[in-house]
Amino acid sequence: MNIVFVLFPNLTQLDFTGPLQVLSRLPGARVHLAASTMAPVSTDTPALTIPPTTTFADCPPPDLLCVPGGFGVDDAIRDAELMAFVRRAGERARWLTSVCTGAFVLGAARLLKGKKATTHWAYHAELARVGAIPTKARVVRDGNVVTGGGVTAGLDFAFSVAAEVAGEAVARAIQLGLEYDPHPPFDCGTPERADAMTLDALQKRYGPRLSTLREALAEALARA
Amino acid sequence: MNIVFVLFPNLTQLDFTGPLQVLSRLPGARVHLAASTMAPVSTDTPALTIPPTTTFADCPPPDLLCVPGGFGVDDAIRDAELMAFVRRAGERARWLTSVCTGAFVLGAARLLKGKKATTHWAYHAELARVGAIPTKARVVRDGNVVTGGGVTAGLDFAFSVAAEVAGEAVARAIQLGLEYDPHPPFDCGTPERADAMTLDALQKRYGPRLSTLREALAEALARA
């Protein structure tokens, strides 16, 4: 089973390293990190760059495609080679998946039309722009499309995908091995439960990002 | 603030990428990924290698040291240069921290003596070998030493550390940005809550690893 993560500059690294930790433990998994070139890919964390294992051109056809998110999504949507790779995968892959704003890469490739989907809370309403049905949940499955919410939702997403792909017993064994029994020290991980000041500060930060994403999506959908 | 992650071959990548995602967002954080050489470091996930940002020799003195775990810990404990770096950090750093079996690297450097600490559930009792007080919790703080449990505990650990270092408001804002509101699809992330068959399978897998860790620790403590 070829599990392919799509890498692009300025991705949010945990969107991909979380699911990678879980899905790479699936029996028979062959994991590929695919990018435009073999040069290490930048992430939102300046200290961390990720060496790809393959280019899009050389990557075997994915059985499971996973697209992470991050501020780099705007440019990823404008990358013709990346988008062609995702569209090709869309025709063949058994599973099409995303974490966080990676959903908009699937969406720009017209793979979310009429599908229930989720993404990072700050971008959730934007899913309608790509014809998806915005669905408030940490993990959403609609047919062969599985989307996860923001960043850390990639873990809940990955255990759900693991169970779909390899059965619940396998998913449970991986969960115990990774000691996934979360106890957040604070209860403020969603806008509904955050205090007003924190929420306001975050919304101010994401506001400009919503505009640039909308532009990138409008261009992509006009071309498609 | 210099935040230094200690890298070594065959580390468990999420032990470090989880805390990295959180701690790199602290105001004023300068993150360094330190290893013996500048060659990309292997992880438990064959597809993923991590390019260090510095060698141990060139790394600025850590204000916060974080040691991840993984099966590579046995060899890390035998790496004289790595251990010297950790011991030096132990004399100067404001915060000494570990995730998962990274605790045994701190322990082999005699930094956990008399300290309450935690680690991955399968290795928990071994903490007594390094003079620590094994403490069952997902995150344990004792003075300037903060230890996290297995792998995914690194997230709860990181938000706790973020709050200690930069205050609760900062930690909460990072948590909302990373949408950390976990909902595991299964409730089996600890040995107490796992079914007997899953637990048995995992214990068989970790059994041989306990022996090799004990040997590495015995050698290190005999030398120290």
Helix, strand, coil percent values for chain B (each to nearest 5): 45, 20, 40
pLDDT at A208: 93
Say if residue A54 is exposed, middle or buried (CB neighbours under 10 Å; 0-12, 13-18, 19+): middle
**B176 with A168: Cβ contact below 8 A:** no
**A17 with B13: Cβ contact below 8 A:** yes
CA-nearest of A82, A96, A159 to A132 is: A96
Single out the catalytic residue among A59, A66, A100, A188. Answer: A100
Q: Is the pLDDT of residue A224 over 90?
A: no
pLDDT at A122: 96
**A46 with B31: Cβ contact below 8 A:** yes
- Alpha carbon of residue B171 to chain centroid: 19
State percent of chain A over pLDDT 90. 99
**In angstroms, what CA-CA distances link A20 with A15, A112, B11, B13, B223?**
9, 23, 14, 9, 38
The DSSP 8-state label assigned to residue A191 in this structure reads T
Q: Chain B interface, mutation test: which of A183, A195, A202, most B Cβ atoms within 10 Å? A: A183
Q: Is the pLDDT of residue B224 over 80?
A: no
pLDDT in tens, B166-186: 999 999 999 999 999 999 999
pTM of the complete model: 0.97
The terminus-to-terminus CA distance of chain B in angstroms comes to 30
**A185 with B171: Cβ contact below 8 A:** yes
The dihedrals phi and psi of B64, each to the nearest 5 degrees, come to -130, 120
| Vertex B71: Cα angle to A180 and A40 (nearest 5) | 85
Measure the CA–CA gap between B109 and B118, rounded to whole angstroms: 16
Measure the CA–CA gap between B202 and A125, rounded to whole angstroms: 42
Measure the CA–CA gap between A157 and A140, rounded to whole angstroms: 8
- Alpha carbon of residue B126 to chain centroid: 15
Measure the CA–CA gap between B221 and B154, rounded to whole angstroms: 26
Average pLDDT of chain A to the nearest whole number: 97
- DSSP strands (E only) in chain A: 2-6, 30-35, 41-42, 49-50, 54-55, 64-67, 95-99, 116-117, 133-134, 139-142, 145-148
**A195 with B180: Cβ contact below 8 A:** no
Cβ contacts of residue B87 below 8 Å, gap of 6+? B109, B110, B111
Chain B residues touching A71 at Cβ < 8 A: none
The alpha carbon of residue A148 is apart from the nearest alpha carbon of chain B, in Å, by 11
Tell me how crowded residue A70 is: count the other CB atoms within 10 A of its CB. Answer: 25
Chain B residues touching A194 at Cβ < 8 A: 172, 176
Look up the ipTM and state it: 0.96
Active site residues of B: 100
The answer to whether the beta carbons of residues A107 and A126 sit under 8 Å apart is: no
Average pLDDT of chain B to the nearest whole number: 97
**B189 with A171: Cβ contact below 8 A:** no
| Vertex A156: Cα angle to B160 and A5 (nearest 5) | 105
The alpha carbon of residue A45 is apart from the nearest alpha carbon of chain B, in Å, by 6
pLDDT at B206: 94
**In angstroms, what CA-CA distances link B21 with A44, A131, B14, B84, B93?**
9, 31, 10, 27, 21
pLDDT in tens, A47-103: 999 999 999 999 999 999 999 999 999 999 999 999 999 999 999 999 999 999 999
Among B32, B40, B159, beta carbon nearest to A47: B32
Among A156, A169, A189, beta carbon nearest to B175: A189
**Sorting pLDDT into bands at 50, 70 and 90, what band is B223?**
confident
Q: Chain B interface, mutation test: which of A180, A187, A206, most B Cβ atoms within 10 Å? A: A180
pLDDT in tens, B52-94: 999 999 999 999 999 999 999 999 999 999 999 999 999 999 9
pLDDT at A223: 83
Q: Chain B interface, mutation test: which of A30, A179, A199, A203, most B Cβ atoms within 10 Å? A: A179
pLDDT in tens, A124-135: 999 999 999 999
**B17 with A13: Cβ contact below 8 A:** yes
Amino acid at A120: H
The answer to whether the beta carbons of residues B118 and B99 sit under 8 Å apart is: no
**In angstroms, what CA-CA distances link B63 with A36, B93, B160, B209?**
37, 5, 16, 32
